[in-house]
Amino acid sequence: MGKEFYLFIFGIAVCKCEDLFDRIGDGHYFIGNEKTAGHYFDWFVARRDCWDRISTLLSVENAEELGNLQQYILSRGFPDGSTFATSGSSFKGKTHYSWEAVDEPLTFAHWLPGSEAEIDGTGTGTGTFLSLQLANSSLYMRPSYGQDDYYICEYKFSLRQLALSLETQAWSCLFVLGVLLWLCYFACLLRWKAKKETIQHSEDKMNLIA
């Protein structure tokens, strides 16, 4: 019964991926937009929304990934100047940027000309987030304060992401379901052992009579 349960959970995750995320290069991505008249969502709202989709905010780990995203964003007709939230920030130690989603330091950078990170020449930040910005039909990285036009979720299925996507009520239901499944398994085990002992007792009795 345990296998069926895990397959069911995995099936839900796969369905979510196919329904909500677009295949771009080797990855699956979703671009969200919470911008309404004069209002910008913040980074924490974007991260929570990605978690709800069993995904994380984007981590751009190489030039190929950035190039694929750039082509996709241009094909979707996003206007020049659009900014996109990622999982990058310099809050972890306030020295260098890192990707929260993969817990790795920034190893690839393509800074927007004139941005703070490029001016100091070290890729360091002063407690800022890292966003992507479309400028002159090219996608660049730039520091931000957590308020962007859009955000990009990246789908990489893991049990941790599945856990983050579940609300407290859902966790309670899963806990109760897990307890019930364990009790059913335990009851079946006891019945099997009792039946086995009965059969063994009958066989021993027949051997003694013989």
Assess if residue 2 is contained within a domain: no
What pLDDT score does 115 carry? 82
Mean pLDDT by 10 residues, the chain (210 residues): 46 52 90 64 87 91 95 94 94 78 90 74 71 96 91 76 51 60 72 68 60
Number of domains in the chain: 2
What pLDDT score does 134 carry? 97
187 shares a domain with 146: no
The pTM score is: 0.66
Residue-level length of the chain? 210
What pLDDT score does 153 carry? 94
Contact indicator for 99, 88 with CB cutoff of 8 Å: yes
Domain membership of residue 208 as a residue range: 167-210
207 shares a domain with 157: no
What pLDDT score does 133 carry? 97
d(C-alpha 188, C-alpha 38), whole Å: 61
User: Which helix (H) or strand (E) element contains residue 185?
Assistant: helix 168-209
177 shares a domain with 155: no
Assess if residue 11 is contained within a domain: no
73 shares a domain with 40: yes
* Beta bridge partners of residue 130, listed in sequence order: 143
